[in-house]
């Protein structure tokens, strides 16, 4: 289903405004608290979210050759320069982060149309959950279920090859939003003929967390199915 880019941008902006409201209320102890993302602190995740607001400007034009070199030879999307930038920005504290979060931005991924905007939403929602769950903060922003479901389809179709010993998986939110993933192919939406033995059932955000390798509140009908190999 083709989705209106305006709906995607509304989701991106609403998620950012929610993040700003959270960061404004953080204490120094909460800023330095461990998040759900690797060994990063809450502050480091906040700055990681901002990393692609204006790349490569955010890292400085002089760093572009070094960044390209790292991308080629480190063979990972988060390079040494990016991590060092995060640490430097994190050390500037909460007030500085709020100012930068509030600036007008031009997200890099959003330049690549609806696909890029969906990845933008996936990244922002997952990392915001990385922040609020250890802090036990409730999510107060509500996104369009259609937008979130499209993001679930996109992320799960990239990650399903990493699930071991599983050929087909039914992914279910409700009667309207459900699909079957076939291993080796991108997710295909099948509303009426779900018949796989393995089912993953949950709210869209919980499904995003599952397919990004985070703890989540999904129901799984197969005991040995885990997301331990899923990294995002």
Range of the domain at 59: 5-135
10-37: average pLDDT: 96
Please report the pLDDT score of residue 223 as a whole number.
74
Q: Looking at the structure, do residues 110 and 172 belong to the same domain, yes or no?
A: no
Query: pLDDT band at residue 166, thresholds of 50, 70 and 90?
Result: low
| pLDDT for the residue 63 | 59
Q: What is the DSSP letter of 138?
A: P
User: Any idea what the Cα angle at residue 105 is, between residues 122 and 21, rounded to 5°?
Assistant: 65
Higher pLDDT, residue 206 or 4: 206
Q: Is residue 229 part of a domain?
A: no
β-sheet bridge partners, residue 61: none
Looking at the structure, do residues 51 and 128 belong to the same domain, yes or no?
A: yes
Looking at the chain, the whole-number percentage of residues with pLDDT higher than 90 is 47
User: Average pLDDT, whole number, for the chain?
Assistant: 83
Residues above pLDDT 70, as percent of the chain: 79
Bridge-based pairing state of the strands 199-201 and 168-172: parallel
How confident is the model at residue 4, as a pLDDT? 87
Same domain, 181 and 97: no
Domain check: are 125 and 211 in the same one? Answer: no
β-pair partners for 168:
182
Q: Is the pLDDT of residue 132 over 80?
A: yes
On whether residue 157 sits in a domain, the answer given is: yes
pLDDT tens for each residue of 28-86:
999 999 999 988 999 999 999 988 776 555 555 565 565 555 555 545 556 677 788 88
Q: What is the pLDDT of residue 1?
A: 62
Q: Residue 232 pLDDT > 90, yes or no?
A: no
Last residue of a domain, one of 117, 135, 153: 135
Residue 178 lies in a domain: yes
Query: What's the gap between Cα 229 and its chain centre?
Result: 16
Local confidence band at 188 (pLDDT 50, 70, 90 cut-offs)? very low
What pLDDT, on the 0 to 100 scale, is given for residue 66?
58
- Let me know whether 153 and 100 are in one domain: no
Last residue of a domain, one of 135, 158, 180: 135
Sheet of 168-172: strands edge to edge? 178-182, 168-172, 199-201, 219-220
Interatomic CA distance for residues 40 and 33, integer angstroms: 9
Question: Domain end: 105, 135, 165, which one?
Answer: 135
192 inside domain? yes
Say yes or no: 151 and 46 in one domain.
no
Same-domain status, 130 and 155: no
164-181 mean pLDDT: 79
Task: Please state the rounded mean pLDDT for residues 133-159.
Answer: 93
Q: Which residue matches tokens 């919980």?
A: 206
Predicted local confidence at residue 58, as pLDDT: 54
Q: Are residues 156 and 78 in the same domain?
A: no
pLDDT number for residue 72: 55
The whole-number average pLDDT for the span 175-203 is 70
pLDDT of residue 178: 85
- What CATH code is carried by the domain that includes residue 116? 1.20.120
Clarify whether residues 35 and 110 are in a common domain.
yes
Domains contained in the chain, number: 2
Q: Do the domain assignments include residue 85?
A: yes
**Which CA distances in Å does 136 have to 73, 97, 123, 129, 130?**
39, 21, 20, 10, 11
At residue 189 the predicted structure's pLDDT band, cuts being 50, 70 and 90, is very low
- If you average pLDDT over residues 13-38, what whole number do you get? 96
In degrees to the nearest 10, what's the CA dihedral of 189, 142, 29, 92? 90
Overall average pLDDT of the 196-216 stretch? 92
- Going by C-alpha positions, the residue among 199, 192, 231 that lies closest to residue 218 is 199
Q: What is the pLDDT of residue 176?
A: 82
Residues 164, 81 share a domain = no
């Amino acid at each position: 289903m083709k989705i209106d880019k305006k709906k995607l941008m509304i989701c991106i902006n609403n998620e950012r405004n929610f993040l700003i409201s959270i960061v404004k209320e953080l204490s120094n102890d909460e800023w330095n608290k461990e998040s759900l993302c690797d060994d990063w602190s809450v502050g480091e995740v906040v700055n990681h979210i901002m990393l692609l607001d204006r790349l490569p400007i955010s890292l400085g034009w002089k760093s572009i050759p070094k960044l390209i070199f790292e991308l080629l030879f480190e063979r990972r999307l988060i390079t040494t320069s990016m991590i060092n930038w995060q640490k430097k920005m994190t050390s500037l504290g909460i007030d500085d982060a709020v100012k930068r979060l509030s600036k007008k931005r031009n997200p890099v991924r959003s330049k690549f149309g609806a696909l890029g905007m969906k990845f933008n939403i996936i990244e922002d929602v997952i990392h915001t959950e990385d922040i609020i769950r250890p802090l036990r903060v409730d999510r107060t922003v509500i996104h369009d279920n259609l937008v979130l479901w499209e993001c679930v389809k996109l992320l799960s179709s990239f990650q399903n090859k990493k699930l071991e010993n599983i050929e087909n998986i039914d992914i279910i939110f409700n009667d309207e939003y459900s699909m079957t993933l076939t291993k080796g192919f991108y997710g295909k939406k099948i509303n009426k003929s779900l018949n796989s033995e393995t089912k993953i059932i949950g709210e869209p955000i919980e499904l995003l967390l599952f397919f990004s390798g985070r703890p989540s509140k999904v129901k799984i009908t197969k005991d040995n199915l885990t997301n331990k190999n899923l990294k995002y």
